[in-house]
Structure 1
Amino acid sequence: MQIGSPITAAYLLGLPDHYSSHSFKPLYWRQYVKYVLQHWPKSTESGNLNTDEDNLVCIQKVKGQYMQMDIVRAYIY
């Protein structure tokens, strides 16, 4: 891979490779989902807190292989 002279000069001078008018804080999505799920009410339709729904596992087929579905991916898609 070739690098142009302006990029090389900026790197050697310690200049940033991009500029923006805003600075953003990182959002750690998995920690957010974990926090929300802790405070989400459990299903109590059958009157029993330990229902069979707690034992269900969602699976998805990816490139011919079955994998456990991620909670975050299930929310996104």
Structure 2
Amino acid sequence: MIRSEWSLGDDGAASYEFELPPTAEVRLPRGSIANAAVNNVPAAQAAGVLSAHETESGLVLELGSGTYRVVVQPH
């Protein structure tokens, strides 16, 4: 089962929560590797992040099985 939630903080930060089976690709609009944290760790260094890259539309994370909280700070 996949579960997801999101919220927007008073400071403009977008918070996403995901519960994932084996692996999943998560696309976050307007996100970037530099302004994203996964479970309070920079996205590029966080456990469970199998890959992270940016596209014209935002941030793409490949996440392994588990529960993640991703926070994307405004630019």
TM-score > 0.5 by shorter chain: no
Task: Give 1 or 2 for the bigger CA radius of gyration.
Answer: 1
Structure with the higher fraction of residues in helix conformation: 1
Higher relative contact order (CA 8 A, sep 6+): 2
The bucket for the TM-score relative to the shorter chain is under 0.3
